[in-house]
Amino acid sequence: MDVAELFAEVRDSLADVFAAIEWAEDEIAAAQRRWPARADALFHSFSLIRPPVELLERLSVEPVYRAYARELLDRVGQEQDTRPGTAVEVCLGLREASLRAPLSHDGFGLYARMWDAAGLPEVDGVTDMRTHYEAISADALDEAETYARRHTSRPDRVLEVAGCCGQHHGVEVACVYADIDQASTDDADGEAVA
């Protein structure tokens, strides 16, 4: 590989990273509009919506990542547990299972339900069949969803904010997390401690 090829590869990789950051920022801003009372927590949720390493490739597709992030951000906005698997994670797990063996009736019904719950684009043969599967197997799908979300849960996926400098994107704000950081770095006279 020559220098020009290496440079092009690095440039393309960085473009993908910056695109993903933009998607995350867009979803955070949209969640802040939906849940204004939780705007500070949502601002500090960037690390929460970072894709797990094993899902990086699958979550590099814009609508898939946005659906994943949106569900987690809505949980933050509603003060819900962020550890259970998302609809996207359940879909990805079912996709992997379907590569090993055909999905059962309930498995496909759950796939259609989770696809719809994630708000992914309509696909013939998936989204148009959801009502059929719900009518026949709603109770079984409820149980399967509970199991799948528990199975794909991430115990370490919790919002932890160590503090805030009092600025969000360079704009001074009265962030509820600002005092956490300041209390540990100021001395008794209110001056910063080195």
The alpha carbons of the chain give a radius of gyration, in whole angstroms, of 21
- What is the reported pLDDT for 123? 85
Residue 163 has pLDDT above 60, yes or no: yes
DSSP code for 161 = -
Q: How many CB atoms lie under 10 A from the CB of residue 24?
A: 21
Beta bridge partners of 168: 171
∠ CA 73-14-86 to the nearest 5 degrees?
25
Using a pLDDT cut of 70, give the percent of the chain over it. 85
**pLDDT tens per residue across span 2-45:** 776 766 665 555 556 668 889 999 999 999 999 999 999 999 99
Question: Look-up: residue for tokens 């770095």?
Answer: 185
Residue 181 has pLDDT above 50, yes or no: no
Residue 186 has pLDDT above 60, yes or no: no
CA-nearest of 96, 123, 120 to 107 is 96
